[in-house]
Structure 1
Amino acid sequence: MASESKPTVLIIGGLGFVGRYLAKYIHNNDLASEIRIVDKQLPQLAWLAPEFAEVCTQERFYQGDMSREHTCEKVLTRADGTTYDYIFNCGGDTRLSQDDEIYKQRNLKLSTTAARVAARKGTKCWVELSTGAVYKSDREPSKETDKLKPWLKLATYKLEAEEELTKIEGLNLVILRLANVYGEYGSKVIATMLCMARVYSYLGEEMKWLWTKDLRSHTVHVTDAARSVWTAADWYCNGKKNWDGSWGSVPVFNIVDHGDTSQGDLQKYISKIFGIKTGFHGTIVSSFARMNLGSAVDEENDEVLQPWGDLLNEAGITRPGPINPYLENELVKDDDFSLDGSRFEAVTGFKYDVPKVTEEGLLQIIESYKRLNWWPPIDLKKEEGSA
C-alpha cells in the first residue's frame, strides 16, 4: 500500500493505557501515514515502558487539554490545513469515585468539544471509547440493544457523551463499549486484585472477596482492545460491511473477550499464583457490607495499605508506579459487569488473540511490573521458612 493511501491518525489520550497500545499497534504494523498523539500529561510522567519509546516520540506528541476548543482547533489542523482521517478518543478520566465536575470536564466536555471540531473539519471516522458499565447490571450478558442504566458514575458521563456525540451533524461516529481492560502495565481492576494478593501473601493470611464467586467481571486484553479500535475505524471507512440498518445509524459495539470472567476465576488463579488461601465472605458479612459499603472498604484499605508500603520500603522501591491495593467503593459493588460482544465479531470479522484471562496472563502482568521495578519481589526464603 502506498504511503499516501494510508490514513492519517490522531489519538486523543494517546499516553493512556489503551491509547499507547493503539499507537504501538499502528506503528508496528505501518498502518498510518502519520500518527499524532495528544495528551494532558507529559510522556515523562506517564509511566511508559521502554517498548513505547519508539512510538510515543516527541515529534508525534502534543501536550494539550482537548476539552478546550482552541486546543482542538490547533491539534486537529494538520500542516497542510486538512484534518486527520481517523480520530480515536481514548482520552478522559477513567478513575473511579471522582467528583461529578471532573467527569463532566475531562470526559463529557472533552468528547463533545473535540468531536464538534472534527465534524466541522471533515474527519472520516471518530471512534469513541466508552464503557460496558452503561448497561443495567445483569448476570445475562448485555447486548448493544439492551437497557441502559449506568451503575458507575463514570459510566453516567460516558453515556451522556455518547448521546451528545450522536447529535453532532456530520460526525462519522463509531462507539465502542469496553469490558474491564487488563494487560501488561495495567493499573485498574485486575492490578488492584494482584496487589492485594501480594499483601495477603506477605501477611500469610487468607484473601476473601465480598459477594459470590459467580459475580461477573468481564474482561478484554489491552492488545485486543487496541486492535478492535483500529478495526472499527477501518471497517467504517471501507463500506461498513454487514451493517444492518435496523441497528441504527451510529454503529455501537461491545468489546469483550470470550472468557465470561467471574470473581471465581480470578480467585482461583490468584490462589495458585501466590500460594494463599482465598475464598468468599458468607451471606451475613456480604449483607452487612452492602448496607455499610463505605466502612467495609475503608476497613479493607486500612488492612492492606500499610503492609503494601512496608513491602515497597523493604524492596527499596521509591517510585512504585501507578499500581497499589487501594480499593475504590465503586470497585466493590455487587453488580455484574457482563457483555455480549458477538455483534462486533459478526459484522467486522474481528478475532480475539487473547480469548480469556489465564493464570499465565496474570503472571505476565506481574512480570511487566517487575521489569519497571514497581513490584515488591516475594521473599522465597521467608516463605519456605514459614511453610
Structure 2
Amino acid sequence: MPSCLVLGCANFYGRALIELLCAQRDAAKDSWHIRGVDKVLPQLASFPRDVEALYATIDFRMGNLRNPTFLEQAFAEPPGATTWDYVFNFAPEHKFGLAAQAYDQDVRQMSGLVAQLARARGAGVLVHLSSALVYGAHGNARAAEDAALVDKSCELPLARSHAAAEALVAQAAGDGLAAVVLRPALCYGPGDRQNAVPMLIMAQLSRISGSPLPVLWGGDRRISTVHVSDVARAALAAAQWRRTKGLVVFNVADEGDTTNAALARAVGALFGVEPAFHGAAASFLARRLRSAAELAELASESLLGPWLELLAEHGVANSPLTPYIDPEHPYCRLDAHPRGVDGARIAATPGLEFEYRRPRLAPAALRDMVAEFQAVGLWPAVPIPQ
C-alpha cells in the first residue's frame, strides 16, 4: 500500500508516470495513495479523455512549486501515514528556449527545496528526473553515468541548471536521503511536444510536397533515445528498489543506440518519405553559421509557413506543435556534440528488475504520437500511410 507523491504530474514525463501508477494501483486492487501536483490543470493539458479521467482518481493539487509555502503543503502527510514512501520529482523544467533565470528557479532552486523537504520529512526515497543533457562533450561515444558533466562555462542554461540541481540532490543524499537521479536521453512518446515533434512535422511536410526528408549532419552521429513509458517504468522500479541512504545515478536510454540516420529513417518510414542526407558542403555551411540559434532560425523560416498553412487548411487552431528547433535542442549541435548515452546500467543492476520494453525507436511508436495529436486536435487530419 505505497504512498506516491508526484511533482510535475501533468507534464510530458509526469503524465506517463501517473498512467503507470494508476495501472499498478488498479491491478493490485490495493489502496495506493497517489498525490499529483502541478501548475497546470489536467483539463487544460490537451490530454486524451481516458488520460484526463485518471486525474480524477488521484489526489490532485494545483499550485506553483516555485513557492516554498505551497511546496510544503504538497508534502503534507498522506492519509494514515507520517511520510511518503516514494517522492517523484518530475517537475524540473525540460522545455527548451527559456531564460536562464527561469531554469534557475524551475530546475535548480525548486529541486533543492524538494530534496531538502524529502530529507526533512523522512521520505522513503526521492526519484529526481534530470536529463542526459548534463553530459559534456565526449565525442561520438556513449556517455556512462561517470562521464564528465557540463560546468559553469557551458553556454546552455538548461544543461547547467540540471547539473546544478543534481548537486543539490547529492547534498541532501549525503545528509541521509535515499535518492535516485535519472538522466533520460532524447525522450519521445505520447505528449512529447519538442523532442521528436520537429522531425515529425518536417516529414509530414515532405510527404505533402513530395520531396525527400532533408537531414543535416552525418548519419553516424549518435542521438540516443528513450520512450517516455520506459522513463516512467524506470522511475517506479528505482523507487521500489532503493532503500539505502545516499545517491545513485542511472541513465535511461534504449538499447537501439539511435544514430542520426536511424532517427531519420524511423521518421521517414512513418510518412513514406526517403531521408536525403546532406553532403559535406551543406554540413560545412551549417557549421559556418555563427551560432546554433542561426541554424534554428534558418530551419524555422523554411518550415513554419507551410506548417501554419497546413494547420489552417485543416481547421487546427492554436496548436502548440511547431517545426521550430530551439538552439538548445540536441539536434542543433549534433555535429560538434553527439548525444550518445549508455543506458545499460539500470537494466543490469541486481534486484532492480527493469528492462526496456521499447528497446529501439520504431515508426509504430511515432505513429501513436501523431494519432493522439490528431485525436485531440493538435495535428491536421492528414492520413498517415499504413
Q: Note whether the superposition's TM-score is higher than 0.5.
A: yes
Deviates more, 1:364-373 or 1:68-77: 364-373
Q: Which residue of 2 aligns with 1:325?
A: 323
**What is the CA–CA distance in structure 1 between the aligned matches of 2:182 and 2:237, rounded to whole Å?**
11
Contact kept, 8 Å, 2:7 with 2:14, in 1: the verdict is yes
Q: Summarize the Cα distance change of 1:19–1:379 in structure 2 as closer, same or farther, 3 Å threshold.
A: closer
Question: Which runs of structure 2 are paired with 1:132-281 in the superposition (5 Å)?
Answer: 132-137=132-137, 138-149=139-150, 152-168=156-172, 169-237=175-243, 249-281=246-278
Deviations 1:46-71 (A, max 9, x none): 12222212321286211112222211
Contact kept, 8 Å, 1:66 with 1:114, in 2: the verdict is no
4+ runs deviating over 6 angstroms: none
Contact kept, 8 Å, 1:256 with 1:340, in 2: the verdict is yes
Aligned residues between the structures: 366
Q: Please state how far the C-alpha of 1:364 moved relative to its aligned partner.
A: 2.1
**What is the CA–CA distance in structure 2 between the aligned matches of 1:312 and 1:96, rounded to whole Å?**
23
Q: Summarize the Cα distance change of 1:88–1:139 in structure 2 as closer, same or farther, 3 Å threshold.
A: same
Q: Which residue of 1 aligns with 2:73?
A: 74
Q: Which residue of 2 aligns with 1:3?
A: none
Identity %: 30
Q: Tell me the SS of whatever aligns to 1:29.
A: helix
Q: Please state how far the C-alpha of 1:124 moved relative to its aligned partner.
A: 0.8
Q: Which residue of 2 aligns with 1:244?
A: none
Q: Tell me the SS of whatever aligns to 1:88.
A: strand
Q: Which residue of 2 aligns with 1:297?
A: 296
Q: Which amino acid aligns with 2:313?
A: E
Q: Which residue of 2 aligns with 1:374?
A: 378
Q: Tell me the SS of whatever aligns to 1:56.
A: helix
Q: Tell me the SS of whatever aligns to 2:340.
A: coil
Q: Please state how far the C-alpha of 1:9 moved relative to its aligned partner.
A: 0.6
Q: Please state how far the C-alpha of 1:319 moved relative to its aligned partner.
A: 4.0
Q: Which residue of 1 aligns with 2:341?
A: 339
TM-score normalised per structure 1: 0.89
Deviations 1:72-130 (A, max 9, x none): 21110126573322110001221112211010001111111122122111111010001
**Structure 2 unaligned spans of 5+:** none
TM-score normalised per structure 2: 0.89
Deviates more, 1:164-173 or 1:119-128: 164-173
**What is the CA–CA distance in structure 1 between the aligned matches of 2:21 and 2:58, rounded to whole Å?**
16
Q: Please state how far the C-alpha of 1:287 moved relative to its aligned partner.
A: 2.2
Question: Which runs of structure 2 are paired with 1:1-12 in the superposition (5 Å)?
Answer: 6-12=1-7
**What is the CA–CA distance in structure 1 between the aligned matches of 2:316 and 2:147, rounded to whole Å?**
46
Q: Please state how far the C-alpha of 1:379 moved relative to its aligned partner.
A: 6.8
**Structure 1 unaligned spans of 5+:** 1-5, 241-248
**What is the CA–CA distance in structure 1 between the aligned matches of 2:147 and 2:78, rounded to whole Å?**
43
Q: Please state how far the C-alpha of 1:170 moved relative to its aligned partner.
A: 2.7
Deviates more, 1:122-131 or 1:60-69: 60-69
